[in-house]
Amino acid sequence: MINEFTAHPNIALVKYWGKRDDRLRLPFTGSLSLTLRALRTRTRVRAISQGTRDRFVLGGVPRKGEPLARVSAFVDLFRELAGSNNAVLVESWNDFPESSGLASSASGFAALARACNHVFDLRLSDRELSILARRGSGSACRSIFDGLVLWSAGERADGLDSFAQRIEFPESPGLALLIAIVSEERKEISSTQAMELSVRSRGYERWIRTTEDYLERALEAAKSGDFTALGEVAESHSKLLHEMLESLDPPVIYRTNASRAVLSRVKELRAAGVEAYSTMDAGANVCVLLRGRDLETVEAEISGVEGVLRVIPSR
Ligand code: 2P0
């Protein structure tokens, strides 16, 4: 359908965790992600008659309250650019579970940015869309692009230098991801809330320095096509994030027994000579980074881990 727009979630290899400006969603550090082609959000936006209010329907269910307010405030950014006061109907569908650490807000706001660009006839570039998508959800700025994506933190107070761009990874047969779904439930603490707790914690300054260092190493690894180095950085950065979260008061715990079982199996696979690395975002599900040629082997291994409900391969 011509006015339907698609975006994919992304999984961070070097995580975005904490904002220097909450309103503009400006991060303290840059981050690096892989876009998950296997999952997607589809979104349609239609103008409805003036004077009425915006409507938001997600997965066929009309939403009110905070979800609608967030979508409406995001559409305002586009209305302002277009000089329009048209109310809209936003219809969106995800083909994966929401709020379980699979970044549905990333693909959601990226797809919505594309759909608004179309309905308000703004003809914005991908970079401009990335800057706007960031205002909906930080990680959404990365979901404007495919493949390996760098979000530069930027320095400006207005956020115009805080956007994502694609990075080439020279190695063939390329990178792949396997998501091990161990929970389809809504997480109790949103990433926005957990981030705020972290920023106020004592260890946060060290987190910023560590992340900057990891990002530099990850970019170096990406540039030279060094899969091993990239995988090591990703696994280690994820481990640090979850250790930090679990040490907060009160602790924020996303890792479950099933997540831990997957993390162990990934280590065993490496010991057996299959190079695979794990990473987790703000939820219990585990993402495994691997080489495309190892996808079938890893899929068979991870599917057999106790507590894994299903796996989603993504090249
Ligand atoms: C990331 N996450 O880099 C990190 C790692 C989750 C773990 O970005 O508050 O939904 O809307 O800007 O983008 C998830 O946070 O947060 C996230 P907001 P967002 O992918």
- Note the pLDDT tens digit of each residue in 13-39: 999 999 999 999 999 999 999 999 989
The domain total for the chain is 2
Whether residue 179 sits in one domain with residue 159: no
pLDDT digits (tens, 9 = 90+) for 78-111: 999 999 999 999 999 998 766 555 667 999 999 9
Residue 113, pLDDT score: 98
Closest ligand 1 atom number to CA of residue 192: 9
Q: How far is the CA of 252 from the centre of ligand 1 (A)?
A: 15
Q: Which of 255, 242, 291, 249 shows the shortest CA–CA distance to 270?
A: 291
pTM of the model: 0.94
For residue 106, the domain's CATH number is: 3.30.230.10
Question: Is any atom of ligand 1 closer than 6 Å to the C-beta of 237?
Answer: no
Whether residue 150 sits in one domain with residue 186: no
DSSP character at residue 25: T
Whether residue 156 sits in one domain with residue 11: yes
Whether residue 48 sits in one domain with residue 147: yes
Residue 102, pLDDT score: 64
Sequence-distant (6+) residues with CB within 8 A of 295 are 176, 178, 313, 315
Q: Are 261 and 288 in contact (CB under 8 A)?
A: no
Query: Which residue's CA is the closest to the ligand 1 atom numbered 14?
Result: 191
Residue 3, pLDDT score: 87
Q: Which residue has the tokens 């302002």?
A: 80
Among 126, 142, 167, give the residue marking a domain's end: 167
Which residue segment(s) compose the domain that 155 sits in?
4-167
Q: Angle at the Cα of 197 (from 193 to 199), degrees rounded to 5?
A: 115
Whether residue 71 sits in one domain with residue 101: yes
pLDDT digits (tens, 9 = 90+) for 207-256: 999 999 999 999 999 999 999 999 999 999 999 999 999 999 889 999 99
Among 142, 167, 192, give the residue marking a domain's end: 167
Residue 128, pLDDT score: 98
Mean pLDDT, rounded, of the chain? 93
Whether residue 208 sits in one domain with residue 98: no
Whether residue 292 sits in one domain with residue 196: yes
Whether residue 130 sits in one domain with residue 62: yes
Residue 271, pLDDT score: 97
Whether residue 149 sits in one domain with residue 196: no
Residue 62, Cβ neighbours under 10 Å: how many?
11
Whether residue 126 sits in one domain with residue 103: yes
Question: Is any atom of ligand 1 closer than 6 Å to the C-beta of 151?
Answer: no
Question: Is any atom of ligand 1 closer than 6 Å to the C-beta of 16?
Answer: yes
Question: Is any atom of ligand 1 closer than 6 Å to the C-beta of 25?
Answer: yes
Share of the chain above pLDDT 70, in %: 96
Among 120, 138, 167, give the residue marking a domain's end: 167
